[in-house]
A and B are shown apart, each in its own frame.
Chain A
Amino acid sequence: GDSVTQMEGPVTLSEEAFLTINCTYTATGYPSLFWYVQYPGEGLQLLLKATKADDKGSNKGFEATYRKETTSFHLEKGSVQVSDSAVYFCALMFSGGYNKLIFGAGTRLAVHP
């Protein structure tokens, strides 16, 4: 079935370090891809999205490129801040079918000063 696989956490970085969180997907068609972020005690917030191959989503310094050939959507940021500490979820969604999101397991990021 359709699924999303994320790198296991926690990922621990120092402030200003480069971040990569890997995400790969298995899907029978061509889904839209999303990154959601969950800050402590809060709900899921959409961070960025990409709807077709080679699209790049970006927001708040984070980027991810939809790679159909490798079925990947890796999240990157050039210089992380302490305030980026959160759990990051990769997800996919197909058009039609009333658009349920299929999530990865989440990756916890901890950034230290």
Chain B
Amino acid sequence: EPEVTQTPSHQVTQMGQEVILRCVPISNHLYFYWYRQILGQKVEFLVSFYNNEISEKSEIFDDQFSVERPDGSNFTLKIRSTKLEDSAMYFCASSTGQISNQPQHFGDGTRLSIL
């Protein structure tokens, strides 16, 4: 069964540094998402992406965050200047379409640790 793959599985970065988290969505999917889960808290929506544009973003997704689909297969999340509170598990997801009962498929996540 096709999977969403995320790299790296664990990223350790100094505060203030830029970090790029990478995702390869399922190949025929058109809608892409990033979520995060701070340790012990709920999974929170960050951003959705379709047709090379951001479709929706949450209040968490401020100017320090950006997303890109640079080459038609990868989908990246960049944090420009990391803060301690950015430490979390980041999940990428993808889906085939906009209809509400199309499930989102998730990757195994990248654990981001900011020192």
Q: Do A and B bind each other?
A: yes
Q: Inside 8 A of B104's CB, which chain A residues have their CB?
A: 46, 99, 101
CA separation between A100 and B61, bound complex, in Å? Answer: 14
B34 to chain A, nearest CB (A): 10
Q: Inside 8 A of B6's CB, which chain A residues have their CB?
A: 43
Binds A, one of B13-21, B35-43, B64-72, B77-85: B35-43
Most buried by A among B4, B6, B44, B104: B104
21 contacts across the A-B interface (CB closer than 8 A): A31-B100, A32-B100, A43-B106, A44-B91, A46-B103, A49-B101, A89-B43, A95-B99, A96-B100, A98-B31, A98-B56, A99-B95, A99-B100, A100-B48, A101-B33, A101-B45, A101-B93, A103-B43, A105-B42, A106-B42, A106-B43
Instruction: Point out residues on B near A: beta carbons under 8 Å.
Output: 4, 6, 31, 33, 35, 41-45, 48, 50, 55-56, 58, 91, 93, 95, 98-109
